[in-house]
Structure 1
């Protein structure tokens, strides 16, 4: 696997990991507004990941479908939600942590990749990634988390 494919697969991993947790949160959220928001975020992550997977495959690589550490993080987050007195607020706090991982991964790809094409791909999606992160962060803070 070349560096270009590895970096794109890292981005796919963080997107797929968060997409799965957003989908779970959308099914379990108590308030309809959160269910809709979580589902929209899950769709955004899935869309970006699908495009990145196409780019990896076009370069002869094997697209990733999530990470082991992401699965462990998801399990830990689900446990925290179950133990929480306010599951929607805890989902939001945990999802904001997933957003932190995504925004950092895209920033790293933009700033650190030696491959101009990888930087361009990450830059293309960075505004959406930053917007999603800001929205979830603001929602978390509005709930006092």
Structure 2
């Protein structure tokens, strides 16, 4: 198990959770608010599952953020301010965060030989894949 991998995943999950919480305050559609809240819950669950591995490798919980996701959040705010459909802008950018999260999970899965960590990564990957697919469908519906 690689400390950098688990920390990178946690940072992306933290930033993604923050971005969804931010987007909840920015969208007008109550259905989107419910979806975004479910995405926050999925990330909280993933963090609960992964934090013990960060503690095993670093001796402490990872609390950082991903600057890539934070930059995407700022970009989404700018684009939404200029858009005729700000809700779609947030959906589009959050779907990109889902892509980034899946990439980090796949990278960690490919680099680990620790069976318990691999099992947890597969479980988290499955949960995040569902989030990704949901956001991708929303993106297609609102396009």
After TM superposition, is the score higher than 0.5? yes
Alignment correspondent of 1:75: 74
Q: Is the 8 A contact 1:95 1:136 kept in 2?
A: yes
Q: Is the 8 A contact 2:102 2:125 kept in 1?
A: yes
Residues 58-114 of structure 1, C-alpha deviation per residue, up to 9 Å, x if partnerless?
A: 444341421223222221122112221111111111111111111111122222334
In structure 2, how many angstroms separate the alpha carbons of the residues matched to 1:115 and 1:35? 37
TM-score norm. by structure 1 comes to 0.87
In structure 1, how many angstroms separate the alpha carbons of the residues matched to 2:119 and 2:131? 19
In structure 2, how many angstroms separate the alpha carbons of the residues matched to 1:107 and 1:89? 27
TM-score norm. by structure 2 comes to 0.88
Q: Is the 8 A contact 2:72 2:93 kept in 1?
A: no
Segment drifting more, 108-117 vs 35-44 = 108-117
Q: Is the 8 A contact 1:53 1:64 kept in 2?
A: no
Alignment correspondent of 1:136: 135
Gaps of 5+ in 1: none
Number of residues of Structure 1 aligned to a counterpart in Structure 2: 142
Gaps of 5+ in 2: none
SS in 1 for 2:2: helix
Alignment correspondent of 1:42: 40
Matched, 1:10 2:11: no
Q: Is the 8 A contact 2:12 2:65 kept in 1?
A: yes
Q: Cα RMSD over matched residues?
A: 1.7
Alignment correspondent of 1:90: 89
In structure 2, how many angstroms separate the alpha carbons of the residues matched to 1:58 and 1:104? 23
In structure 1, how many angstroms separate the alpha carbons of the residues matched to 2:49 and 2:132? 20
